Structure 1
Amino acid sequence: MARFGLAAALLALTGCVSLGGAKPPESLLTLTPEMSAPAGSALNASQAETIALHEPTVPAEIDVLRVPVKIDSSNLAYLKHAVWVERPAQLFRRVLAETIRVRSEKVVLAGGDPAARGGMQLRGSLTEFGYDASRSAVVVRYDATLLGEDGSVRQQRFEAVEEGVLAEPGPVGAALNRAANEVARQVADWAK
């Protein structure tokens, strides 16, 4: 009787769960930092020597789990079968945090906790993060603003472009990872 009840419950549950009939993607894209602090490494700093890293703002076409394809100046599509494991702004912030930590040896506060205020505040906008069909290229563009504890403000635009990329999920994902790491290196060196 218990087996019958369990089987009936499972059958009822399958009627409630809908996957939309869509086939799941073969794989999901992610970003990985090219440099990482080794396990056990520690940094000590006063609050004035820390950087609070905020999640970048993004336009609507990037704030999704798909890879935008710029067809021309007024048309946009999404790369077929290319799906991020999570939003690109979150992925990029993690790469940027790890790169700043390794290259500058600064304590980076990147957890999103509003109470964790660093001596410096790094804010920015990820304005390009996708594929440009007219150039067969991936483009990563980040506009950074660094607010110092003394009230100083610095701004700079960083960009990495990798051309000759096939419009397929694997090559585009790998190229975006390399370009994101290149932009993160540029930002880390600038924010020292």
Structure 2
Amino acid sequence: MDKVKVLEKYLPADAAPLIGRWIDYFKCEFKISRNRNSKFGDYRAPFDGKGHRISVNYDLNPYAFLVTTVHEFAHLHTWNEHKHRVKPHGAEWKSNFKKMMQPFFEKDIFPADVKRAITSYLNNPAASSCSDLNLYRSLCQYDAPKEDVHTVEKLPMHTIFKLKDGRVFRKEEKLRKRYKCVEISTRRVYLFSPVAEVEVVEQG
């Protein structure tokens, strides 16, 4: 199947042809990956006979998929220019990320709220789009509804919740940007991102 047709299943349709051209131009192996809780996407530099490799999680909504894809291609472009001589998310990467995002602004790909959040993020892009809570929340507005899934920030104080791995916690007070939560079985304290997705445990 034509790569643009495949990309249209995951990206806004008007964005797919340019991403397809980038894959060809940079001679990049582009993989649509399973869900990874720790990251949305990944870039691997050429190594041991393999060329550039990018992977992006399959279950992102189209706008989150596009932001993540551009993020990873900016890594590739920066590596071509500087190899390992610069920081992964240093000034060179930030400059490339801004430039590579521009065509999608010109095509008016993004809804107004997402575009505003990306513009703010681009003033000083961080290591990950999900580490910028404003951008992350804007992108999440376009996720398909998930049953029984809540974010920590929206839970009432002292709510009992669990993670996918089965561990159970109680929400406590907010400490600066994160929430203090106590693991029920060990009494250990953990700090949770406000937008961490969890499942509420019904109290009998």
Q: Same fold (TM over 0.5)?
A: no
TM-score category (smaller protein): under 0.3
Question: Per residue, is there more strand in 1 or in 2?
Answer: 1
Question: Per residue, is there more helix in 1 or in 2?
Answer: 2
| TM-score, reference length from structure 1 | 0.24
